[in-house]
Structure formats: C-alpha cells, structure tokens
Amino acid sequence: MEEFNDTINLGEEVVKVLKTIYDPEIPVDIYELGLIYDVFVNEDFDVKILMTLTSPNCPVAETLPKEVEEKIKKIGEVKGCEVEITFDPPWSKDLMSEEAKLELGML
C-alpha cells in the first residue's frame, strides 16, 4: 500500500476512493455527480468530507454517508473520517461534471 507523507497526496487518494462510490439510482460516481462539496485533510490525517445528497428524501440518506466514511477509513494513513451532510447549497444538475452530464445524456 502506498504511503502518504502529506495532506495533498492523501487528499488526492480520498478523491480516488470517492470516485468508486456510486449513487445507486444514477450510474455516475458521487464525485462526478457533484455530491462532494469539500474534502478536508488535517496534519493528523483526519479527513472531513462535506457532501450533499440529490434530495433530502434520498433513499440512501442513511447508507451513503456511512459507505463514504467506511471506505475512506480503509485508506491506511487515515486516522478518522467524519462525513457531514449539508443541503446548503442544494444539489442541482449544474454541480455535475461535464463527464457525468455526458454519461447521462445531458450534453
């Protein structure tokens, strides 16, 4: 397993892991979907992820944040992971990457 000696490399690895997690209703990963608002990594390698859901009534509101937290904690150097859900600003299709829009036939 790769060793991370700084927060930037670890942050990039966190993004790679986030790109392996999919919204079960949409065939696009949560990163490209624009559900991840921010990733914070401090010097102690604690990770905090600020994310949203496609809607407050999202069927995976309970399970998706837990999945994100569990997968991030599996990265060797991560000491802890906190996932915070926000609806400010609310998610919209504008937050999706060009890649995601292309995948979903929106371009």
How much is the pLDDT for 3? 59
Q: How far apart are CA 99 and CA 5, in angstroms?
A: 31
Q: How far apart are CA 22 and CA 55, in angstroms?
A: 15
How much is the pLDDT for 2? 53
Whole-model pTM? 0.90
Digit-coded pLDDT (tens) for 1-41: 455 678 889 999 999 999 999 988 888 999 999 999 999 99
How much is the pLDDT for 6? 86
Digit-coded pLDDT (tens) for 46-94: 999 999 999 888 888 889 999 999 999 999 999 999 999 999 999 999 9
Domain 2-97 is of which CATH architecture?
2-Layer Sandwich (3.30)
What residues does each domain of the chain span? 2-97
Q: In three state form, how does the secondary structure of the chain look?
A: CCCCCCHHHHHHHHHHHHCCCECCCCCCECCCCCCEEEEEECCCCEEEEEECCCCCCCCCCCHHHHHHHHHHHCCCCCCEEEEEECCCCCCCHHHCCHHHHHHCCCC
Q: How far apart are CA 71 and CA 63, in angstroms?
A: 12
